[in-house]
Amino acid sequence: MRHRLLAVVAVLWPVGAIAQTQGPVVTLDAIEVVPMSPLAAPDTGVAREKYPTGATTLNGADLAAAHQAGLAQALDRRAPGVATVDVTGNPFQPEVDYRGFAASPVVGTPQGLAVYQNGARINESWGDGVHWDLIPSVAIDRATILGANPVFGLNALGGAVVLDMKNGFTWQGFEIDARFGGRLRGQGSIQYGVKSGDWAGYFALEGIREKGARYFSGSSVRRFYGDIGYRGDRAEIHATLGLASNKFGASGPAPLDLVNANQAAVFTTPQTTRNELAQFALTGAFDIAPTWKAKANVYYRSFNQKHVDGNITDFNSCGAATLCDDAGAATSIPDFLPGAQYGALDRTWTRTRAMGVSAQVDNSDRILGHANRLTFGFSLDRGWTHFRADEEIGVVQTDFRVTGLGWSVMEPASGIEPVSVKARNTYYGVYVQDAFDVTEQLTVTVGGRYNLAKIALFDQITTALNGGGSFGRFNPTAGATFRISPNLSLFANYAEANRAPTPLELGCADPNRPCMIDNFLVSDPPLKQVVARTVEFGARGSFKLPDLLPGAFDWSAGVYRTLSTDDILNVPSAISGRGYFVNAGRTLRQGVETSLAYKDERLSAYLNYTYTDATFRDTIELGSPNNPLAMALGLSSIRVTPGAHLPSTPKHRLKAGADFALTPAWKIGGDVTYVSSAWLRGDEINLFAKLSPYALVNLRTSYQVTKEFQIYGLVENAFNARPKTFGAFFDPTQVAFANLSDPRTVSIAPPIAAYIGAKYRF
């Protein structure tokens, strides 16, 4: 799918921007309804004050005001509890963390969030990863992130992200938006919505191209989303199409020694990824009777990925005609350049086809005179994946590029040989949830879901990878809300959720035969499914201070505690560049989540604070051969004791932002994000120095030249802070000519960047 998805031509105007001006767009003025299930659009959700867990909703205007290139970055700016982790070194491939649980595009990352788009589950079949770059951000009508609720199926250990997309009934008009600026980024979008009688149409195009903040990290993003809808007296049906063709040059964390000398440095490249997507879906909502509604969704998803990764290798010159492995044994690989620093080009191809169907029924009949909302439904998701991998021996150049030598590695004794495996996974789900108003103030919600996951692996070369498993569990939930006054309510909830091992994890669970994640798979000892139990309670409400400010405040505060058993972690092995998956006992994530927002005719502002305490609760042995203590003792693992903190999860996150209208036409705004210190990955024993805390400031301004035409400007990282946002360990002796000594690798925040843009809408 090499076709171009975007052709945007616009004149860019110098002046400043942000603060979206709403034209003929139809949006919800206030966030009042929360989805109770993946298929629950606003008309079948529940009022926010009756929802028993934490919930944050950002509408299309909120997302547009953030002026970000993707949904993940907008959530990072605005949503409490959400942070992005820079694992890949590319802004379009972030790992999203919510309450210590991840939704990541990096295959091999244990996933803990379920993500739905118009009711279709978009966690990929192969490793349950979430490719945020494939989501057309301009076409999102609203995004809701929720606390743990088993109704949202597998992976909802920490919560779920539910996306409702725009259509011609909810958005009408035409808009073109383009900007240009730092890192040679050009970004543009077009969206058009129209309604005619019972029919409506909507389409959106997005295109982004940039050089990147580090060497070899350029990106190209192209996305399309379209919707054709029909709305009658008792039915509404939509056919949607999503397309994407994206290419990234990820740089990943680099050795601290290199970063201190050159902040654009990389360590072993190429690291390129190409993602291609085509997704078709048909959704319908039907009024069966005045108090009965039905919804259904059918989708087909085609995803292709090609990944090329330049790496260090354990094969090296040993004075013989062939290379030797790390144990000193001779291999069949010729010593092409005696004494050279050898490397490897690891290539993978992932071809996934997925389809699913889901349906639910909602009933709002009163019971004994009390309001009641009953929802029950089912889902079936099936995926087929063909995964291939091979390795080519190469040489590491002085700029850390790995140049291939044309020799494909086939060394079964060293665990490296071409892989071709097919996987089939089928996920069944049946759920029910009921919200009953005991009184006008008290609402009790109970429900549950039964998940059944069936996974099978079929080795296409030998039989070593044949296998699979079946994982089933019923997860209950129960909660309550109590409305003390019209502007104050309390909530409490208990929920269980589970995650089955993915096909990737089942194919890489033997510590004696580790995988080149995500490049090579081996035999599959059984893994247990993860079970998370969450207790949450808090309060939410609104208030006014008429003597001080003319607008209204909206606030929420909550406390949560999630205990996961048999958590699955990806840990490195003693063999360079490889790892495996293990059940790591119990882990605990607990904390506090608060938000405060204000809005009047001229000013809108928000302040969010989150405290997250993520710890191990059992004594376990974890592979961490590059941990400095393990290296000093000649070990390949570390002993983690109860109370040790999970790495890459900062305790404190603070977000604040404001937009102010100096005049009816001219607006200014900005936001700041503060993140406290965090442990490096690989330092699960919490023995070495943390990453330092940091704050990033962004500024914006806009001027409405006419009712239809706006010019704007953005400054990201306005104070040019260059904090280290992610870190891990490596073996600094791997590349002899580099003379490295510090075992830490880090990702660093991009430098200051300014953009100018223009928007036209009518």
Element (H, E) at 624: none
Distance from C-alpha of 129 to C-alpha of 387, rounded to nearest angstrom: 15
- What local confidence, expressed as pLDDT, does residue 42 receive? 66
Q: Give me 542's structure tokens.
A: 């609104």
pLDDT score at 277: 98
Closest CA relative to residue 210, chosen from 227, 187, 188: 187
pLDDT classification of 64: cutoffs 50, 70, 90: confident
Q: What pLDDT does residue 511 have? A: 58
SS3 label, residue 749: coil
Do 713 and 703 contact (CB within 8 A), yes or no? Answer: no
Burial class (CB in 10 A: 0-12, 13-18, 19+), 747: buried
Q: Homologous superfamily of 33-158+177-334+345-761 in CATH?
A: TonB-dependent receptor, beta-barrel domain (2.40.170.20)
- 3-class secondary structure for 638-686? EEECCCCECCCCCCEEEEEEEEEECCCCEEEEEEEEEECCECCECCCCC
Is residue 354's pLDDT more than 70? yes
**For the chain, what is the mean pLDDT?**
88
Q: How confident is the model at residue 632 (pLDDT cuts 50, 70, 90)?
A: confident
Residues 270-287 have a mean pLDDT of 95
Phi then psi for residue 132, to 5 deg, are: -65, -25
pLDDT of residue 580: 61
pLDDT of 22 above 50:
no
Q: What single letter denotes the amino acid at residue 472?
A: G
Its pTM stands at: 0.91
Q: Are 350 and 340 in contact (CB under 8 A)?
A: no
pLDDT of 504 > 70? The answer is no
Question: Mapped to the 3 state alphabet, what secondary structure does 363-421 carry?
Answer: ECCCECCECEEEEEEEEEEEEEEEEEEEEEEEEECCCCEEEEEEEECCEHHHCECCEEE
Mean pLDDT of 278-292: 96
Residue range 44-52: mean pLDDT, rounded: 86
- Please report where in the chains the tokens 């997860």 appear, as a residue: 475
The rounded Cα 574 to chain-centroid distance in angstroms is: 29
Give the model's pLDDT for residue 3.
41
Among 217-226, 322-331, 431-440, 576-585, name the one with the lowest average pLDDT.
Answer: 576-585
**Which tens digits make up the pLDDT trace of 373-387?**
999 999 999 999 999
pLDDT confidence of 513, banded at 50, 70, 90? Answer: low
Please compute the mean of the pLDDT values over residues 381-409 and round it to a whole number: 94
Residue 721 CA to residue 692 CA, distance in Å, equals 12
pLDDT at 639 over 70: yes
Reported as a pLDDT band with limits 50, 70 and 90, residue 432 is very high
Residue 753 · residue 715 · CB < 8 Å: yes
pLDDT of residue 66: 82
DSSP for residue 689? P
Beta bridge partners of residue 111, listed in sequence order: none
Tell me which H or E stretch contains 203.
Answer: strand 199-210
DSSP state of 215: T
Quick: pLDDT tens for 565-594: 988 776 655 555 555 667 788 999 999 999
Question: Is the predicted pLDDT of residue 364 greater than 50, yes or no?
Answer: yes
Per-residue DSSP letters for 520-584?
Answer: --------PPEEEEEEEEEEEEEEE-TTT-SSEEEEEEEEEEEEEES-EEEEE-SSTT-EEEEE-
Residue 517 has pLDDT above 50, yes or no: no
Is the pLDDT reported for residue 529 higher than 80? yes
* CB-CB neighbours of 56 under 10 Å: 23
* Full DSSP string of 282-332: EEEEEEEETTEEEEEEEEEEEEEEEEEEEEE-S-B--SSSEEE-TTS-EEE
Ranges 138-147, 290-299, 509-518: which has the least confidence:
509-518
The residue assigned the tokens 């105007």 is 13
Residue 174 · residue 762 · CB < 8 Å: yes
Residue 395 CB coordination number (10 Å):
16
Query: Using an 8 Å Cβ cutoff, are 684 and 616 in contact?
Result: yes
Is 560 in contact with 612 (CB distance < 8 Å)? no
pLDDT score of 466: 79
Residue 255 identity (one-letter amino acid): P
Q: What is the pLDDT of residues 302-324, one digit of tens each?
A: 999 999 989 888 899 998 899 99
The answer to whether the CB of 54 falls within 8 A of the CB of 556 is yes
Q: How far apart are CA 501 and CA 570, in angstroms?
A: 12
Q: For residue 702, give the nearest of 29, 192, 65 by alpha carbon.
A: 65
Using a 10 angstrom Cβ sphere, with 0-12 exposed, 13-18 middle and 19 or more buried, the burial of residue 458 is: middle
The number of beta carbons lying within 10 Å of the beta carbon of residue 4 is 10
pLDDT band of residue 234 (cuts 50, 70, 90) is very high
How far is it, in rounded angstroms, from Cα 624 to Cα 694? Answer: 27
pLDDT in tens, 452-489: 999 988 888 887 777 788 899 999 999 999 999 999 99
**Is pLDDT above 70 for 26?**
no
For tokens 């990106």, the residue is 219
Handedness of CA 67, 72, 76, 80 (dihedral sign): positive
Nearest to 240 by CA among 306, 301, 160, 159: 301
The model's confidence at residue 168, banded by pLDDT at 50, 70 and 90, is: very high
Nearest to 244 by CA among 194, 301, 187, 201: 301
CB contact at 8 A, 154 and 499: yes
Mean pLDDT for 688-703 is: 96
Answer for the pair 98, 85: CB distance below 8 angstroms, yes or no.
no
Domain coordinates in residue numbering, the chain: 33-158+177-334+345-761
Rounded percentage of the chain residues whose pLDDT exceeds 70: 91
Contacts of 289 (CB under 8 A, 6+ apart): none
